[in-house]
Chain A
Amino acid sequence: MTTKLFGEPVRRREDQRLITGRGRYLDDIGSKALAAAFVRSPHAHARIVSIDVDEALDVEGLVAIYTYEDLTGPMAEPLPVLIPHPQLHAPRTGFPLANGEVNHVGEPVVMVVATDRYVAEDACDRIVVTYEELPVVVGVDAAREAAHAVHEEIPDNVAARHHQETGDVEPVLASSPRTLSFTQYIERSACMPMEGKGVHAKWDPDDSSLRVYTSTQASTSVRAAIAAKLELSLDAVEVIAPDVGGGFGVKIVHPWPEELLVPMAAINLRHEVKWTEDRREHFIGSAHERQQRQEITVGYDDDGRITALDVHIWHDNGAYTPYGIIVPIVTATQLVGPYAIPVYRVVVESVFTNTVIVTPYRGAGRPQGCYAMERTMDRIADELGLDRSVVRERNLIQPDQFPYDHHLTFQDGRPVIYDSGDYPGLLDKLKDLVGWSEAERLREEAEARGRLLGVGMAMYVEGTGPGPYEGGHVQVLGSGKVLVSTGLTSQGQGHETAFAQIVASELGVPIEDVEVTTGDTRRFGYAVGTFASRAAVMSGNAIALAARGVREKALRIAADVLEASPEDLEIDAGLVQVKGVPGTSIPLRTVAVLSNPLRYAFDEAAKQATQFAKAGDDDKPPVAEGDAPGLEHRDYYSPIRSTFASGAHAAIVEIDPATWEIDVVKYAVVHDCGNVVNPMIVEGQVHGGVAQGVGGALYERMAYDADGQLQNASFMDFLMPYASEVPDIDIDHQQTPSPLNPLGIKGAGEAGVIPGTAALASAIEDAVGRRIAAMPISPTELYDLVRSPDSEMTATAGRRAGTGVMA
């Protein structure tokens, strides 16, 4: 029995059910439900001429068919622009079912409900939709050229022009000793959780209430959206995120069309209805991220110190902008990383294309920002003939400069002010961990084996734990059980364990007595969601504050019973006792019983709290003014701004010059997320993030053809890393606690993925001596690059050739 568990690698409490097949994911719910399936657009851009459902009507087991014509009221209006922004001047969203026009392959056009999924898909196959095809826009460059428009009334395809600057960049650039300019690209990948999306809805016609299970990262907001769109009272709708099989961002978007249509059908049909996304649907009907064209100009001096940075980014937002310009803002503001940039200007033009929408995927614009900044550092080092770590070191914000104000506005509308950190410390640890000074020796050794070796690094700062708030509720029952809830959902991050550790530590109770519920609006109605590495920061602190509230009340009640002062009491192992006086104690569960004065005794414990059990003061009410019955407390954590985690990654690659296969032989991570609740879980988050970073750098790419058809919409063709593709990862930690929150935590969820593309591009460039300006890169692309007479040789490679180090 342990109570001081904050910081310990406690084994996860959710695992018991998950390893025995007793998890409850979306598709495990509702065995009697009708099944929904969708007819989706096969065209990237087209007008719908007609929808003929006649052939489907004969399918035995068909229950209902819905098209746009069947939508009424708010359901017939466009889906919400979830996060409006003044610089998002031309937002566009689709309809729950297409209204006359489709703008990407996969857009839902018809919903079919049938007795089972097989039958529903049979019916879908027989529905004939006639389309008139329109010109298609694919990729940032085509969107930017704007020969065709995705939305007719937006001829330049620009949805938003996001602009921030910290001073007048042009004169500083003009007077800088040196400048360089370059353009680079990064491609699309996607979250690809192993469980796709899914919705189950059940309507109770007797009390007109709706219960919805959805595989979401934001159940409270899905609830509000359903209530608004289906014109129901909020209190008639419950939304529950069951076990969620991964999210990584895609499930923060809401309401997905299916999250509205499935409940609509359940109400309409008076029968529970379920939709489970299949893998192809997830590829073409969910969300992607990452594609950008980046035009960068940097001014710097002869020592490699940056004087000014001017960045113009073209960001592909896909067909619609339901999630606003969060990704462009994050790229724009997180790009500066751990560096002091005297003058910075950034413009991100967010453009429409006839492809799947772009919304946050783990990192949410940061990998692109990091790629821009870190490749700039590499270019400066290359030009000056300096070690890449030296150029970085010279530009780092120093430990005595915190809080450090970048004079930028973050994605939460709050200033980008770094709260704490030690970036030189990170860099030193990283160089030791990867063996940076050994690189030339390793290169020669590899060369002797006929392999090209390169090393690369990248640093990042990540704004984590944005507001506006999260809440927590902690209640001690008369049984001694401690119920904890937060509205924030879980998608595999181990919240049941981490939050239980916090409560056990704060309250002084055995973790075995703590039960945590997340993402269930029946238990906690106010929440934002799990994204932006915010769960531990936001809900963790809210729950800690709630536990402190319970503790304060428990001590007050116990002080009365023990005839002691609350300050002289402590709670340990579920026992409230007078410090230093063993034996003078009262179990917390008894305090819970006493906290609720009773008239009726229904068991032995309750008897202690009844009105004649204890002589009360006749002049005071049984429940003191301002007090409430029960040993419980609800509290909220609402930060003034985000807290900033940081880290640095380095990679060593070996490349076979016969096949151009890229082998990551070493991958080093130094990570700083402030105080750590559970180091085992944090390390797991880093591992998983790095795997996605490596995937995004070397393997994953959404291969759209010019017609807007996604050519690799299956796990067969979209190359997600297997175990064989993920390198061993060496991790070192640094802890600079956040001064902004009671627990001193910073977020850790996204960190692992952020610098992967930048670090690997750096390492590959170092190995082959050719400029890498487009990521991801496959062996074939690397071969083409090395063979191309147009590819640019790095100055470093030229210098090496001069010294004979590299052939």
Chain B
Amino acid sequence: MTSIDSERTITVTVNGVPREATVPVRRLLSDALRHDLGLTGTHVGCEHGVCGACTVVVDGAAVRSCLMLAVQVDGAEVRTVEGLAREDHQGGQVLHPVQEAFRECHALQCGFCTPGFLMTIAAGLEGRDNSAELTEEEVDDMVGGNLCRCTGYANIKKAVHHAAAAMKDGA
């Protein structure tokens, strides 16, 4: 029988970089990202899978990292908020359209829930055909599972449209 504090070494590709970590088997993915890999951009708001602040993308799907164990991502690809922007040819940072849209539309205030929204929306927009017009239902669906206590969501929904338009133009 495996004890809860026995450890395993996992290999996981995080934001395109192979990483290795030795973690207790009970360690949550959210905690492993934050405390073992030092990627504190992923936030923990409830630890019971309701608020969505800890959302990351695992093998292409947006998941709540507080509802997964770190050992479950052994061999997987994980994308976090730190991996949303890309580097340009001069080594500068090019924000993801969703990040740009959040800033432009004032879609964040305290910023604590923001990484979860960004990852959910980025996965949602990247997973659809962006030449098609984005419907209000799609937007509601994309943002409807994450909690924000500051913004009242109006500007977050606006940002989704803004990002979708940018991705359509960029497509």
Partners in one complex: yes
Residues of A with Cβ closer than 8 Å to B? 11-12, 14-16, 18-25, 27-28, 31, 60, 116, 118-119, 191-195, 243-246, 248, 278-279, 491-494, 680-681, 683-684, 687-692, 714-716, 720, 722-724, 726, 728-729, 752
Distance, CA A494 to CA B106, complexed state (A)? 10
- Closest residue to B15 on the A side, CB-wise? A21
Distance, CA A404 to CA B55, complexed state (A)? 51
**B108 CB contacts on chain A under 8 angstroms:** 15, 18-19, 492
Q: Determine if B154 and A492 form an interchain contact, defined as CB atoms under 8 angstroms apart.
A: no
Distance, CA A178 to CA B47, complexed state (A)? 55
A601: shortest Cβ distance to chain B, in Å?
35
- Closest residue to B44 on the A side, CB-wise? A27
Known: A18-B114, A279-B45, A715-B46. A248 touches B149 (CB 8 A): yes
Q: Determine if A681 and B140 form an interchain contact, defined as CB atoms under 8 angstroms apart.
A: no
**A692 CB contacts on chain B under 8 angstroms:** 149
- Residue B38 at the A interface, CB < 8 A? yes
With beta carbons under 8 angstroms apart, the residue of B48, B80, B112 that contacts A25 is B112
Q: Binary interface profile of B, 150-165, with partner A (CB < 8 Å = 1, else 0)?
A: 1111111100000000
Q: Determine if A20 and B41 form an interchain contact, defined as CB atoms under 8 angstroms apart.
A: yes
Which of A195, A491, A680 has most B Cβ within 10 Å? A195
**B143 CB contacts on chain A under 8 angstroms:** 723
Distance, CA A28 to CA B37, complexed state (A)? 12
With beta carbons under 8 angstroms apart, the residue of A193, A245, A688, A720 that contacts B151 is A688
With beta carbons under 8 angstroms apart, the residue of B109, B140, B145 that contacts A684 is B109
- Closest residue to A35 on the B side, CB-wise? B35
**A492 CB contacts on chain B under 8 angstroms:** 108-112, 150
12 contacts between A and B (CB under 8 A): A15-B111, A20-B95, A23-B111, A25-B40, A25-B43, A27-B34, A118-B5, A118-B27, A195-B43, A684-B152, A688-B149, A688-B150
**A688 CB contacts on chain B under 8 angstroms:** 109, 149-152
Distance, CA A245 to CA B108, complexed state (A)? 11
With beta carbons under 8 angstroms apart, the residue of A15, A28, A279, A722 that contacts B102 is A15
- Closest residue to A695 on the B side, CB-wise? B149
Q: Determine if A194 and B156 form an interchain contact, defined as CB atoms under 8 angstroms apart.
A: no
Distance, CA A493 to CA B140, complexed state (A)? 25
- Residue B134 at the A interface, CB < 8 A? no
**A714 CB contacts on chain B under 8 angstroms:** 46, 48, 50
**A243 CB contacts on chain B under 8 angstroms:** 110-111
Which of A16, A19, A27, A119 has most B Cβ within 10 Å? A19
Q: Determine if B148 and A194 form an interchain contact, defined as CB atoms under 8 angstroms apart.
A: yes
Q: Determine if A195 and B112 form an interchain contact, defined as CB atoms under 8 angstroms apart.
A: yes
Q: Determine if A684 and B106 form an interchain contact, defined as CB atoms under 8 angstroms apart.
A: yes
- Residue B65 at the A interface, CB < 8 A? no
- Residue B51 at the A interface, CB < 8 A? yes
Residues of B with Cβ closer than 8 Å to A? 5, 24, 26-27, 34-35, 38-48, 50-51, 53, 80-82, 84-85, 93, 95, 99, 102-104, 106, 108-115, 118, 140, 143-157
Distance, CA A191 to CA B150, complexed state (A)? 10
Q: Determine if B103 and A15 form an interchain contact, defined as CB atoms under 8 angstroms apart.
A: yes
Distance, CA A690 to CA B155, complexed state (A)? 13
Q: Determine if B154 and A728 form an interchain contact, defined as CB atoms under 8 angstroms apart.
A: yes
Q: Determine if B103 and A720 form an interchain contact, defined as CB atoms under 8 angstroms apart.
A: no
Q: Determine if A21 and B149 form an interchain contact, defined as CB atoms under 8 angstroms apart.
A: no
Distance, CA A19 to CA B146, complexed state (A)? 16
With beta carbons under 8 angstroms apart, the residue of A24, A680, A724, A729 that contacts B154 is A729
**B43 CB contacts on chain A under 8 angstroms:** 25, 194-195, 245
Known: A243-B111, A279-B45. A691 touches B153 (CB 8 A): yes
Distance, CA A18 to CA B95, complexed state (A)? 12
Q: Determine if A715 and B140 form an interchain contact, defined as CB atoms under 8 angstroms apart.
A: no
Q: Determine if B156 and A723 form an interchain contact, defined as CB atoms under 8 angstroms apart.
A: yes
Q: Determine if A279 and B112 form an interchain contact, defined as CB atoms under 8 angstroms apart.
A: no
Q: Determine if B150 and A21 form an interchain contact, defined as CB atoms under 8 angstroms apart.
A: no
**A22 CB contacts on chain B under 8 angstroms:** 41, 82
Q: Determine if B40 and A194 form an interchain contact, defined as CB atoms under 8 angstroms apart.
A: no
B170: shortest Cβ distance to chain A, in Å?
18
- Closest residue to B42 on the A side, CB-wise? A21
Q: Determine if B154 and A687 form an interchain contact, defined as CB atoms under 8 angstroms apart.
A: yes
- Closest residue to A23 on the B side, CB-wise? B111
Interface class of chain B by DSSP: loop
With beta carbons under 8 angstroms apart, the residue of A12, A246, A687 that contacts B103 is A12
Distance, CA A119 to CA B153, complexed state (A)? 37
Distance, CA A691 to CA B143, complexed state (A)? 15
Known: A19-B114, A494-B109, A728-B154. A715 touches B50 (CB 8 A): yes
Q: Determine if B110 and A19 form an interchain contact, defined as CB atoms under 8 angstroms apart.
A: no
Q: Determine if B104 and A11 form an interchain contact, defined as CB atoms under 8 angstroms apart.
A: yes
**A728 CB contacts on chain B under 8 angstroms:** 154
B125: shortest Cβ distance to chain A, in Å?
15
Distance, CA A21 to CA B113, complexed state (A)? 11
**B144 CB contacts on chain A under 8 angstroms:** 722-724
- Closest residue to B143 on the A side, CB-wise? A723
Distance, CA A15 to CA B42, complexed state (A)? 16
**A60 CB contacts on chain B under 8 angstroms:** 5
**A192 CB contacts on chain B under 8 angstroms:** 149
Distance, CA A28 to CA B44, complexed state (A)? 11
Which of B27, B39, B46 has most A Cβ within 10 Å? B46
Which of B115, B148, B155 has most A Cβ within 10 Å? B148
Q: Determine if A245 and B40 form an interchain contact, defined as CB atoms under 8 angstroms apart.
A: no
- Closest residue to B110 on the A side, CB-wise? A492
Known: A194-B148, A279-B48. A726 touches B39 (CB 8 A): no
Q: Determine if A724 and B140 form an interchain contact, defined as CB atoms under 8 angstroms apart.
A: yes
Q: Determine if A723 and B153 form an interchain contact, defined as CB atoms under 8 angstroms apart.
A: yes
- Closest residue to B150 on the A side, CB-wise? A688
Q: Determine if B41 and A684 form an interchain contact, defined as CB atoms under 8 angstroms apart.
A: no
Q: Determine if B152 and A245 form an interchain contact, defined as CB atoms under 8 angstroms apart.
A: no
Distance, CA A195 to CA B40, complexed state (A)? 13
B163: shortest Cβ distance to chain A, in Å?
12
Q: Determine if A193 and B112 form an interchain contact, defined as CB atoms under 8 angstroms apart.
A: yes
Q: Determine if A20 and B53 form an interchain contact, defined as CB atoms under 8 angstroms apart.
A: no
**A15 CB contacts on chain B under 8 angstroms:** 102-103, 108, 111
Known: A28-B40, A715-B46, A720-B147. A691 touches B112 (CB 8 A): no
Q: Determine if A19 and B47 form an interchain contact, defined as CB atoms under 8 angstroms apart.
A: no
Known: A19-B108, A21-B81, A27-B34. A193 touches B149 (CB 8 A): yes
Q: Determine if A246 and B149 form an interchain contact, defined as CB atoms under 8 angstroms apart.
A: yes
Distance, CA A719 to CA B151, complexed state (A)? 17
Q: Determine if B149 and A194 form an interchain contact, defined as CB atoms under 8 angstroms apart.
A: yes
- Closest residue to B151 on the A side, CB-wise? A688
**A680 CB contacts on chain B under 8 angstroms:** 106
Which of A23, A116, A191 has most B Cβ within 10 Å? A23
- Closest residue to A694 on the B side, CB-wise? B152
**B85 CB contacts on chain A under 8 angstroms:** 20
A210: shortest Cβ distance to chain B, in Å?
23
**B95 CB contacts on chain A under 8 angstroms:** 19-20
Distance, CA A681 to CA B107, complexed state (A)? 10
Distance, CA A724 to CA B143, complexed state (A)? 9
Which of B40, B82, B95, B143 has most A Cβ within 10 Å? B40
Distance, CA A724 to CA B142, complexed state (A)? 11
Q: Determine if B110 and A687 form an interchain contact, defined as CB atoms under 8 angstroms apart.
A: no
- Closest residue to A282 on the B side, CB-wise? B46
Q: Determine if A19 and B111 form an interchain contact, defined as CB atoms under 8 angstroms apart.
A: yes
With beta carbons under 8 angstroms apart, the residue of B42, B102, B145, B154 that contacts A726 is B154
Distance, CA A369 to CA B154, complexed state (A)? 28
Q: Determine if B103 and A681 form an interchain contact, defined as CB atoms under 8 angstroms apart.
A: no
- Closest residue to A683 on the B side, CB-wise? B106
Distance, CA A493 to CA B110, complexed state (A)? 7
**A493 CB contacts on chain B under 8 angstroms:** 109
A687: shortest Cβ distance to chain B, in Å?
3
Q: Determine if A246 and B154 form an interchain contact, defined as CB atoms under 8 angstroms apart.
A: no
Distance, CA A23 to CA B43, complexed state (A)? 10
**B5 CB contacts on chain A under 8 angstroms:** 60, 118-119
Q: Determine if B111 and A118 form an interchain contact, defined as CB atoms under 8 angstroms apart.
A: no
Q: Determine if B38 and A19 form an interchain contact, defined as CB atoms under 8 angstroms apart.
A: no
